[in-house]
Structure 1
C-alpha cells in the first residue's frame, strides 16, 4: 500500500531487483562522521560522568582528572590560546583524557569520542605541548580520512597556537602544493593517509622514527577503506618506542577495537559505556489500514496521541518519503524529509533543525536508521516494514529504526502497518526473531487508543 502510483511502484520493484532503485542503505562511517561534525558545529556536547569508562594501561596508577587547564603542565602561551578559542574549562572527556595525554612519560591512548566532545582540541593540545620549536623537523603527525577534515583540524590547531608563532603547522594533502624544503621543517603536519605515505616512503619529508606524537583521528572512517587501514598500519611500524600514539573513533565496534590493538600498544582507553539497543522501553504495535488514505489518517492521528516530542517516520524508498512529506506539509503538519540523495551538508542542516525541535516530524529512509541519536524521539512509525531485496524481513534495520524511540531509558512507541500477506509474515518473523510481541491496535477504537496512551505515559 503506497502513495506512489502502481506504475511507479512497479518500476521501483524492478529497479530494486537490479540493485539501482531508490531504496537507501544506512549511512556509512564516513557519511556519519561528516554529518556529526557538521551537526555539532563549534559547540561542545556534554557527556555525563557515568557514561565514561576509563581503563588505564597501569591499573596501579592513581586515576585523576582536572577541572581547569591550569592544573596541567602547559605553557602560558598555549593556555592563552585555549581561552581565546572559548574553552573556559575542560569538557568531560578532556577532564579524564588530558592528564594522561600530557603526562611524562607519554601515555598511548585509545578514545571513543564523537564530534563536539572536545576531542580535537584534546589531541591538538597534546601535540602543541610536545613540540620543541628549536628542532626543525616534523615532530607530530595527525592522520585524517578526508582533505576537508584535515583542513578543519589544521585551522583549529592554528587558532590554538595563536600565541606560539615559533611553531610551524602545515598540511600533507594532495591539494597542497609542496617542495621538500617548504615542508621539511614544519613541526606539526595534518595529513591524509595516501599523501602521508608518499611523504614518508617516497619523498622522505617525514621521518616516522623522529615523531613525538602520532594521531589517528576518526579511525572508524579510516578503516572503512582498506587502503587507508593498510597505510595506517604500515606507517605505525616505523615509529620509535617513545612515540605517543593517540587513536580516536566515534564508534567502538570490533573492527575498530582490532585495528586499535594493532597500532596502539599498551594504551589507556576511554570509551562511552555501550548503550545496547533494546526493545524493553518500547511499546510495539501494528495496525491494519484498509486503504492508503486510512493509513495516512492513522499516521496523522498518532501525532496527537502520545504527547509527541519528536516523531520519525521511516519509508522504504526516497520517492515515498518525499511524497509523504509533501502531503503532510500541505495538510498543515510541519515536517522535514531526509534521504540519501541529499548532500551531507543538507542532511546535517535538517538533523540540526530537527534536534533543536524547530520541526517535530521527520520523514526519512534507512539512511537515518542508525548512527545519529536524537534524545527527544518518542514515536517511530514504519510506513513500511523494512525488508531485504528478496522481501524478507530486515531484522537489524527494524531494531535500529524503532530503537530510536527507546533511548536513554525513555519510553516510546513503535507503530508498523500490515497491509498484505507479506507484511503479516514478516511481522511474525520479527516477533519470533526478537522474542517479543507486537500488539495489534485498532486505531478506530477510542477505548484501545486511550489504553495505549496510558501505557506509554506510565
Structure 2
C-alpha cells in the first residue's frame, strides 16, 4: 500500500477491482481472469502474489509464464517495483535469446518468484537448474498468445513438473477452445472474472478512419508520419510479410520506421526496440502477436493498416495509446470494402469513428520549412570566417528585397528536400477526383503521347528489393514531385531498373535521390545512357554483398551444377 501512490496506482482498474479481492482471500483457489492487455493485469496478480509470499520459506513459491521476453521483463520490473518495501523478496526473470549460464547462476539464489518464457523454462528444467516442486502458484499471462505462438505442448510439460498442492491463475484476452481445454485439464472449480470488452474502450482515445485504395495506404502513412515530428506509435498489419513490406516501403521514403515480427532474431528485436524507446524510430510496424509484450506509455497513435477480424484485437491494439491520462488517436485506414468492419466495431464496442482529415502536402512542407528556418535563426555567426565572406556575398544579394531573398531561400530548400514547387501528385490520389483524370485517362494520354521526348534513367533498385513497376513509379514520383503522367516505360530487373521521364522534367530526377540510404547501401539514379552500365555492375556487387552467405551458398550450388 505504501508503494502504490509512488507508482501512480491510486484508482484500480476493473480487472484489479474484481481480481485482487478474490486472489487475496482465496489465494489457494484456481482463477480465470479475462481482460485485454493494458488493463492492469500485472498488478491484478502481482500484488496478491507478493501478499502470499513467505520470505522465510525455502524454495520457489510462484511461477509466472509469459509468451515473450519483453513481457516477462516488464512483469519482473513491475513486481520488483511493487515489492520495494518488502524486505527479502527475490524475483528472477529467465528467457530465451540470452545466455543461459548467467540465468542458471541467478537461480541458485532460489528466487521466491520466477517469471519465465516457456521454452527457456523447459530448458532449465531439463538441466535441473530449476525446481518447481515447491511452487504454490502458477500464473499464465497472455495465455491466448502463448497458444497462438505454439506453446501448447510446452505448457503441458511445464504443468506436469509443477504438480501438487498449487493454485493456477490464468489471465487471457480471450477464452479460446485450447484455453478451455487447459482449464478443464489442470484447474479445479476456478473463480472466473470477465471484463466485458465493450466497457474497456479508453475514453481518452479518439477513433478515426480514412477510406482509400489499398495501393495508396503506404503513401497515406508517409503523409501522416511526416506531418508531426512528435508523433509516435505502432502500425498494425495482418501478416509478417505485410509488416516487412510496408516497413521497407516507408524506409525507402526515408521515414524513421522499422518492422518487428516473429522472424526477427532476439538480438534484432532488441535493437529495434532500443531504437524505438530512445526515439530514433517514430513508428513500429508490427503484427498483433509480435506486439505482445511491447509496453510503451507515450504512444500518440495506433494505426490499423488492416482491420482485425476480432473486435478484441481492435481493443487490444487501440488500448496502447491514450494511457496515463493522455489523449491518443486510433486511426483505421480502410478500403471501401472494409468499411463494414468499422460499422460492426462501432456497434459492438459502442464507438464513434470520425473521419480523419488528411493533412495537405503544403502543411507537411511548411512544417519542415519552419524547422529549417528555426535552425538557421539559431546559428551562431560570431566567427571570423563569416566576417571575411560577408561583404562579397552581401553584394550579390543587395539588389534583392527581404521578401525576394526569403522566397529564393525557400525555393532553394524545397529543391534540397526533393519537393516540386507544385503539390505532389500522390496527394491528389487521396482527394476527390484529383486532377480530373482517371487511371484510364492517364494511360490513354501516355499512349497518345508517342511524340513526346523521354530521358532514360538507371536506378540500383530491383525486384529483389520487393519492388514492382507500380511501386517504383510511386517511389520516383514521391521523391521527385513529378507527375505520374510524366513517367514513361519501366523496365524491372532483379537488381536494377530503368525508367523514362519526359525531358522537360528530367533535370529534377537525379538530385532528390542523393544521400538516400537503404540498409547501408546508397541509392543512385543516373542517366542510363552515360552511367547505367557502370552502375549496373556496382549495383550487382552491392546486392550480392547485401544478400548474405545464404544466397551465396545457393549461387555456388548453381555454379557447381553448371560445371
Q: TM-score, normalised by structure 2?
A: 0.44
Task: Name 2:18's counterpart in structure 1.
Answer: 96
Task: Name 1:118's counterpart in structure 2.
Answer: 40
CA 1:401/1:135 → structure 2, altered by over 3 Å: closer, same or farther? same
| CA distance in structure 2 between the aligned counterparts of 1:270 and 1:181, rounded to whole angstroms | 38
The answer to whether the 8 Å contact 2:92/2:115 transfers is yes
CA 1:265/1:236 → structure 2, altered by over 3 Å: closer, same or farther? farther
* Superposed displacement of residue 178, structure 1: 2.9
* Superposed displacement of residue 378, structure 1: 12
The answer to whether the 8 Å contact 1:378/1:405 transfers is no
Q: In the alignment, which of 180, 185, 189 is matched to residue 266 of structure 1?
A: 189
Task: Name 1:385's counterpart in structure 2.
Answer: 337
| CA distance in structure 2 between the aligned counterparts of 1:149 and 1:381, rounded to whole angstroms | 28
* Superposed displacement of residue 369, structure 1: 7.8
CA 1:363/1:214 → structure 2, altered by over 3 Å: closer, same or farther? closer
Q: Residue 320 in 1 paired to residue 243 in 2?
A: no
The answer to whether the 8 Å contact 2:34/2:194 transfers is yes
**1:237-276 correspondence runs (5 A):** 237-273=160-196
Q: In the alignment, which of 146, 154, 163 is matched to residue 231 of structure 1?
A: 154
| CA distance in structure 2 between the aligned counterparts of 1:179 and 1:369, rounded to whole angstroms | 38
Q: TM-score, normalised by structure 1?
A: 0.53
Task: Using CA pairs under 8 Å that are at least 6 residues apart, name the structure with larger relative contact order, 1 or 2.
Answer: 1
Q: In the alignment, which of 111, 132, 135 is matched to residue 186 of structure 1?
A: 111
| CA distance in structure 2 between the aligned counterparts of 1:384 and 1:313, rounded to whole angstroms | 10
Deviation per CA, 1:381-421, whole angstroms, max 9, x where unpaired? 853425xxxxxxxxxxx65344233344356699xx9x9xx
CA 1:181/1:328 → structure 2, altered by over 3 Å: closer, same or farther? closer
| CA distance in structure 2 between the aligned counterparts of 1:337 and 1:129, rounded to whole angstroms | 36
Deviation per CA, 1:265-321, whole angstroms, max 9, x where unpaired? 321111123659xxxxxxxxxxxxxxxxxxxxxxxxxxxxxxxx743135564x520
Task: Name 2:515's counterpart in structure 1.
Answer: none
CA 1:410/1:165 → structure 2, altered by over 3 Å: closer, same or farther? closer
CA 1:99/1:168 → structure 2, altered by over 3 Å: closer, same or farther? same
The answer to whether the 8 Å contact 1:144/1:190 transfers is yes
The answer to whether the 8 Å contact 1:171/1:189 transfers is yes
Q: In the alignment, which of 134, 143, 146 is matched to residue 222 of structure 1?
A: 146
Q: Residue 406 in 1 paired to residue 347 in 2?
A: yes
Deviation per CA, 1:204-256, whole angstroms, max 9, x where unpaired? 23332310111111001100122x12111221133344212111112233343
Q: In the alignment, which of 120, 135, 138 is matched to residue 57 of structure 2?
A: 135
Deviation per CA, 1:309-359, whole angstroms, max 9, x where unpaired? 743135564x52022455789999xx999453343562588994247xxxx
**1:43-442 correspondence runs (5 A):** 79-104=1-26, 106-174=28-96, 175=98, 177-178=101-102, 180=104, 182-184=106-108, 185-200=110-125, 202-226=126-150, 228-273=151-196, 310-313=207-210, 317=214, 319-325=215-221, 338=235, 340=237, 341=243, 342=247, 343=259, 346-347=283-284, 352-354=299-301, 364-366=305-307, 371-373=313-315, 382-385=334-337, 399-409=340-350
Q: Structure 2 regions of 5+ residues with no counterpart?
A: 200-205, 238-242, 248-258, 261-275, 277-282, 285-290, 320-327, 356-431, 433-437, 439-563
Q: Any idea what SS the aligned residue of 2:102 has? A: coil
CA 1:203/1:383 → structure 2, altered by over 3 Å: closer, same or farther? closer
Q: Structure 1 regions of 5+ residues with no counterpart?
A: 1-78, 277-308, 356-361, 387-397, 420-458
| CA distance in structure 2 between the aligned counterparts of 1:115 and 1:365, rounded to whole angstroms | 20
Cα root mean square deviation, aligned: 4.1
* Superposed displacement of residue 363, structure 1: 7.4
Higher helix share: 2
Deviation per CA, 1:363-390, whole angstroms, max 9, x where unpaired? 733469851235999997853425xxxx
| CA distance in structure 2 between the aligned counterparts of 1:311 and 1:328, rounded to whole angstroms | 13
CA 1:273/1:258 → structure 2, altered by over 3 Å: closer, same or farther? farther
The answer to whether the 8 Å contact 2:305/2:332 transfers is no
| CA distance in structure 2 between the aligned counterparts of 1:203 and 1:223, rounded to whole angstroms | 24
* Superposed displacement of residue 168, structure 1: 1.2
CA 1:312/1:159 → structure 2, altered by over 3 Å: closer, same or farther? same
Task: Name 1:425's counterpart in structure 2.
Answer: none
The answer to whether the 8 Å contact 2:34/2:195 transfers is yes
CA 1:399/1:99 → structure 2, altered by over 3 Å: closer, same or farther? same
Q: Any idea what SS the aligned residue of 2:45 has? A: helix
CA 1:233/1:121 → structure 2, altered by over 3 Å: closer, same or farther? same
